Structure 1
Amino acid sequence: MSGRVGALLIHGLGGTQYDLGSLNKILKKAGVETHAITLAGHGTTPEDLVSVRAEQWIDAVVAQYRELQPQYDQLHIMGMCMGALVALALAERVQHSAAQGKLVTLAPPIYIDGWSTPWYAMLRSLFYLIPGVAARMKVEEGEPYGIKNTLVRAVVKAKFERGDNFHYRWVPLSCVRQVDRLRAWAMGGARNIKAPTLVVHAREDELTSLRSADYLKGQIADARVVVLENSYHMICVDNDRDQVANSILEFFGFPPQEFRPRRRERGGEAPPQD
């Protein structure tokens, strides 16, 4: 591939660039200049999310895209989880096309209907209507933390217990409402996406089922889907992370990367290593 290539990386709800695991490093090694944005309300404390609106996230990525796009022959857009919804909204807003670059959505939660979703989650829209409740109610991050690999899950759990600032332990329900607004916009605007699109989704995603991938495949004119067989929601750090990375590299037109063999843990799962 000739010319200057960049990628705008968008993290998930309550997260940071670490949501994307080693993708930043892997893309740089391939020759892609990466730009990771920190969305409003993130990187500080969960309380800062209470008053944030989805429009702020979209406006921020649109501004960064418009600043970066003239600098590159190709500028790809990539988002993880909520970041995938933001990426879809961005691609539609700026009419991102094959001439500008490609679009990658990682575990996009078009539907919140994964196997761990409690039945009462659908009642959250009622709480949105009660003044002050959504701002006070906390949605806790709990096991399995979106990770099937037990060793990696243990590391993440230890980080939470130490209070490491890599991901919020909880988010306010008011912020989940903003994600629901993003979901609606992504569903309504998917048919307008012009860029070639890659959807990477785990079959066992506990947050969002394969209906999300199928929906995007059916709505976006040029979309392909990669289904992962040994991961939960956090696909960039789970068992299939090498497949995720090489699927993206191939989609961007780069050769796959060879990864070191990994020590197998009991039960046959292979813990990710950098």
Structure 2
Amino acid sequence: MSTRVGALLIHGLGGTQYDLGIMHKALKRAGIETHAITLPGHGTQPEDLIPVRAEQWLDAMVEQYRTLQPQYDQLHIMGMCMGALVALALCERVQHSAAQGKLVTLAPPIYIDGWSTPWYAPLRALLYYVPGVGTRMKVEEGEPFGIKNSLVRAVVKAKFERGDNFHYRWVPMICIRQVDRLRAWARRAAAVIKAPTLIVHAREDELTSLRSAEFLQATMADARTVVLENSYHMICVDNDREQVANSVLEFFGFPPMPVRSRERRARRPADEAGGEGSEVEGLE
């Protein structure tokens, strides 16, 4: 009897399933059933994030996990950016172990200390307590949009300008407080998680430095790290996206993406970008 394998994918702050780029397709092609939900406050308008608390994001994923887990021989958990923090907290809450599946953290922002972080970022905690400021102040999503690849970055910029609802252009400052709370939960969870864990992090991540990956590697019981050399923060859509996909597939015990498919993508001209297999696969 064949083993039934599923994967629960968790997007980042202000994002949607498109944060995971080609991961859904890569996993499905390998025979892994993927599942994703839109976290509370997402997929509508940025203002809807104002009243949302981190507990709601975690509770939504716990409910999804408990619904799916009995259906699979293995249910893996994967999170991107804030989704990686949720994934860590989720594993602690449900006591996810090797018997249930594995854990993948993609660009986990345990520390917000990347090269584009402004010097005054640590002072944001003071703004949380100034009446009205946290709800009115916007944290803009600006260039390079976490993307080193100039073609993909241009596509993302055009999508923002068109108003496509694949990712919020800004988030309220007050919801960063909830991310900070998740970061604390994730640091605590890392010390007790027993599930085998893969950490994938770009050396040039502008949001969160390799210090985050190093912390998880040093703290978790069973972890391995893949460092990417040609991407910024959005690693599932950037230059190293195929290395990300293949690292995850190997970690889950599946063969890498077919070489023929990779070569065909490399030959696709830039003016065809946007469809399956193109430079921006996963963003359409």
TM-score of the two chains, using structure 2 as the length reference: 0.93
- Partner of 1:113, secondary structure, is coil
Q: C-alpha separation between the residues in 1 aligned to 2:210 and 2:245?
A: 20
- Partner of 1:99, secondary structure, is coil
Question: What is the CA-CA distance between 1:265 and the residue it aligns to?
Answer: 9.3
Question: What is the CA-CA distance between 1:238 and the residue it aligns to?
Answer: 0.2
Question: What is the CA-CA distance between 1:204 and the residue it aligns to?
Answer: 0.2
Match of 1:112 in 2: 112
Q: C-alpha separation between the residues in 1 aligned to 2:68 and 2:280?
A: 31
Is 2:91 aligned against 1:91? yes
- Partner of 1:192, secondary structure, is coil
Q: C-alpha separation between the residues in 1 aligned to 2:279 and 2:158?
A: 16
Q: C-alpha separation between the residues in 1 aligned to 2:101 and 2:48?
A: 33
Q: C-alpha separation between the residues in 2 aligned to 1:272 and 1:201?
A: 20
Q: C-alpha separation between the residues in 2 aligned to 1:146 and 1:174?
A: 21
More deviation in 229-238 or 132-141? 132-141
Is 2:179 aligned against 1:172? no
CA deviation string 1:145-171 (max 9, x = no partner) = 000000100000000000000000000
Match of 1:246 in 2: 246
Match of 1:73 in 2: 73
* Structure 1 gap ranges (5+): none
Question: What is the CA-CA distance between 1:272 and the residue it aligns to?
Answer: 2.5
Please say if residues 152 and 280 of structure 2, whose CA atoms lie closer than 8 Å, have aligned partners that are also in contact: no
Q: C-alpha separation between the residues in 1 aligned to 2:215 and 2:267?
A: 37
More deviation in 111-120 or 130-139? 130-139
Please say if residues 237 and 280 of structure 2, whose CA atoms lie closer than 8 Å, have aligned partners that are also in contact: no
Question: What is the CA-CA distance between 1:263 and the residue it aligns to?
Answer: 4.5
Match of 1:133 in 2: 133
Match of 2:228 in 1: 228
Question: What is the CA-CA distance between 1:260 and the residue it aligns to?
Answer: 2.4
CA deviation string 1:49-82 (max 9, x = no partner) = 0000000000010011001000000000000000
Match of 2:208 in 1: 208
Q: Considering only aligned residues, what root-mean-square deviation do their CA atoms show, in Å?
A: 1.5
Q: C-alpha separation between the residues in 1 aligned to 2:2 and 2:81?
A: 30
Q: How many residues were matched structurally?
A: 270
Question: What is the CA-CA distance between 1:273 and the residue it aligns to?
Answer: 5.0
Please say if residues 62 and 90 of structure 2, whose CA atoms lie closer than 8 Å, have aligned partners that are also in contact: yes
Paired AA for residue 239 in structure 2: N
Paired AA for residue 85 in structure 1: L
Please say if residues 241 and 272 of structure 1, whose CA atoms lie closer than 8 Å, have aligned partners that are also in contact: no
Question: What is the CA-CA distance between 1:242 and the residue it aligns to?
Answer: 0.3
Match of 2:262 in 1: 260
List 4+ stretches of structure 1 deviating above 6 A: none
- Partner of 2:34, secondary structure, is strand
Match of 1:4 in 2: 4
Is 2:32 aligned against 1:24? no
CA deviation string 1:213-254 (max 9, x = no partner) = 000001110000000000000000000000000000000000
Q: C-alpha separation between the residues in 2 aligned to 1:68 and 1:110?
A: 27
* Structure 2 gap ranges (5+): 271-277
- Partner of 1:52, secondary structure, is coil
CA deviation string 1:8-66 (max 9, x = no partner) = 00000000000000111111110111101110000000000000000000001001100
Q: C-alpha separation between the residues in 1 aligned to 2:262 and 2:63?
A: 38
CA deviation string 1:72-128 (max 9, x = no partner) = 000000000000000000001101000000000000000000000000111100101
Question: What is the CA-CA distance between 1:2 and the residue it aligns to?
Answer: 3.7
Are residues 85 and 155 of structure 1, via their aligned partners in 2, closer, same or farther at CA, if it must alter by over 3 Å? same
Q: C-alpha separation between the residues in 2 aligned to 1:273 and 1:17?
A: 14
Q: C-alpha separation between the residues in 2 aligned to 1:114 and 1:201?
A: 12
Are residues 202 and 264 of structure 1, via their aligned partners in 2, closer, same or farther at CA, if it must alter by over 3 Å? farther
Are residues 273 and 13 of structure 1, via their aligned partners in 2, closer, same or farther at CA, if it must alter by over 3 Å? closer
